Amino acid sequence: MKRRSFLTTATLASAGITTLLITGCNSSTTKNEGAALVENSGSDFELDEETISSLNEKLSSGKYTSKQLVEMYLERIKAIDQNGAKLNSIIEVNPDAVAIATMMDKELKLGKSRGPLHGIPVVIKDNIDTADKMQTTAGSLAMVGNIAKNDAFVVKKLREAGAVIIGKANLSEWANFRSTQSSSGWSSRGGQSKNPYILDHNPCGSSAGSGVAVSANLCVVAIGTETDGSIVCPASVNGIVGIKPTVGLVSRSGIIPISKTQDTAGPMTRTVTDAAILLSAIAAVDTNDEVTLESAGKAKKDYTGFLDLNALKGKRIGIEKKPQGNDININNLLDAALDLLKKQGATVVEIDYIEKINALGQSESDVLHYEFKDGVNKYLSNSTAKVKTLKEVIEFNKNNEDKAMPYCKQEILENANDRQGLDDKKYIESLTASFEGSKSILDAVFQENKLDAICGITMGPACSIDVIYGDKWGSYSLTSPAAMSGYPHITIPCGQVYDLPVGFSFFGKPYSEGELIGFGFAYEQASKKRVKPGLKPSFLS
């Protein structure tokens, strides 16, 4: 579903609905084996385009320690995120990061490795609980001072794997569920994150900071969250890889919620290989999130086993037969991508499904409003935040309007707060229409056409930043089908238009992450479209 069409459809029917996009080059050379092909643009950094595997080799050889890696990334954050280009993607740095890295180094010296993430610097989104000195605020001033009592389950898995969480990423406030006129990547606590390709352009959201941080080499990998587009859109417009897993593969406990039906966390990385490694670390059953029980026997312990250069051979990949838009440059990228799939041995099948999914947009937005109120009230009641209900968040913002709402307001929060409980007939009808309806449509398309996946342009290039009137995204978007159904989705760099990245998507049936990773890897390695951002000040500069 198109970002702006979702906004328009929902707003007409119910005031206060937003989308959940939650929305001179030198010859390219590979920096290391498995890394994406990168053009040499932008400021040089010693760890530019490093991968989990390449850093593991350097840790093993003794070239670097984890402590040195952390210090280098923290200096990089200081240099171009806080100063310089002022990307504004990191909302808070972990004061214990160096100490944790030192502990990981000691373990390595004793011969103990926890796996491929041991000692690797990671950034996580600021709606994910960490029981440390960092706050969890969803970018909201109303949430300042909220120190989590426990790590989110995803954070526990990262720590168990030896990852070093070096900071939290800025995001679209309340994961882009506050105002119909919000600017993606803006929060009252963190300000406006910037697209590292052209700084006056939008990084998309809501996982804006995570996408920018990975793209600009402020970390190796990051964790984002998605309800509808919040991983795949910022991944697409920031020129990186993003995976929105099947809802149920990755736990949501300890994550500030929007929708228990659609929420999930997932990897944001520069390569498909790193995404597979990161997904392997965080996918697990969590007894505190009942939906993850459905993944038992379906999740894989190691998704790197699906990294096959020939994964597309003999596969049937669907493509919507109606054009997503009329931009010749974007359509040329799509045509080139489809030609590449065919060269890799895939059969591309024209299908007709997107209008049927789009028709469910109002039902989806109703579900999100009901579930947001229910989920946020439960989260706040057990938090250390000074606000304990959604109503108190709304009152805080009104009482601090000059700082909390200097641009857009909070009509989505207000609309959600007016909803009844989850036993309300309208909620139940909307849930059936949106969730079950989207699954039924997609299942029929997969079965009737014998498809292994559906593909398309993830998102058009980034729009300009506009904190007054909000985002103005074009017609190209492939976020909602997988989001509404809870199905998995991967996006990979597809090329550039107007010096801005565009992503290419595959989404599939539940728990087909392995297959999608294979398709994404085969496409990535055959196309090599990742381009390092150049931190260009403006489109016309």
β-bridge mates for residue 198, sequence order:
536
Q: What is the pLDDT of residue 43?
A: 61
Annotated active-site residue 206? The verdict is yes
Does 427 map to a domain? yes
Cβ pair 343, 526 in contact under 8 A: yes
d(CA 379, CA 494): 38
Q: What is the pLDDT of residue 5?
A: 38
User: Which position has the token pair 């990755």?
Assistant: 250
Residue 257 in this model has a pLDDT that exceeds 70? yes
| Residue of 22 and 479 predicted with greater confidence | 479
Tens-digit pLDDT profile for residues 45-65: 999 999 999 999 999 999 999
Please tell me which residue in 54, 206, 210, 280 is annotated as part of the active site: 206
pLDDT digits (tens, 9 = 90+) for 445-468: 999 999 999 999 999 999 999 999
Q: How confident is the model at residue 44 (pLDDT cuts 50, 70, 90)?
A: confident
Decide if pLDDT at 22 tops 70.
no
Within a domain: residue 30? Answer: no
Please answer whether residues 327 and 497 qualify as being in contact, where contact means their C-beta atoms are separated by less than 8 angstroms. yes
Q: Which of 464, 279, 450, 260 has the alpha carbon at shortest distance from 369?
A: 260
Q: Is residue 332 one of the residues assigned to a domain? A: yes
Residue 540 forms part of a structural domain: no
Number of domains making up the chain: 1
User: DSSP strand E in 188-342: where?
Assistant: 191-192, 221-226, 241-244, 264-269, 316-320
Q: Band of the pLDDT at 39, cuts 50, 70, 90?
A: very low
pLDDT in tens, 163-185: 999 999 999 999 999 999 999 99
Active site residue 426: no
Average pLDDT over residues 519-527: 99
Residue 33 within a domain: no
| Contact by Cβ (8 Å): 123, 91 | no
Per-residue pLDDT tens digits for 345-375: 999 999 999 999 999 999 999 999 999 999 9
Q: Following DSSP, what letter does each residue of 349-418 receive, concatenated?
A: EEE--HHHHHTTHHHHHHHHHHHHHHHHHHHHHTSS-S--SHHHHHHHHHHTHHHH-SSS--HHHHHHHT
Rounded alpha-carbon distances, angstroms, from residue 69 to 102, 300, 370: 11, 29, 43
34 is a domain residue = no
The CATH number covering residue 237 comes to 3.90.1300.10
Residues 288, 292: Cα–Cα separation, whole Å: 9
Residue 409, token pair as written in the block: 């307001």
Q: Is the pLDDT of residue 18 over 80?
A: no
> What tens digit of pLDDT does each residue of 279-318 get?
999 999 999 999 999 999 999 999 999 999 999 999 999 9
Q: Please report which confidence band the pLDDT of residue 21 belongs to, taking 50, 70 and 90 as the band edges.
A: very low
Active-site residue identified among 230, 295, 365, 527: 230
Residue 52 lies in a domain: yes
Q: Which of 2, 67, 89, 125 is catalytic?
A: 125
Residue 341 falls within a domain, yes or no? yes
CA-based nearest residue to 485, from 530, 536, 440: 440
Residue bearing tokens 């980034």: 462
Which residue segment(s) compose the domain that 300 sits in?
A: 3-19+42-527
Number of Cβ within 10 Å of residue 307's Cβ equals 21
Mean pLDDT to the nearest integer, 147-170 = 98
Q: Read off the pLDDT of each residue in 189-206 and give the average, rounded to a whole number.
A: 98
Distance of CA 472 to the CA centre of its chain: 19
170-188 in b/e form (b: 16+ CB < 10 A) is bbbbbbbbbbbbbbbbbbb
pLDDT of 159 > 70? The answer is yes
**Across 260-268, average pLDDT:** 98
DSSP conformation class of 105: H
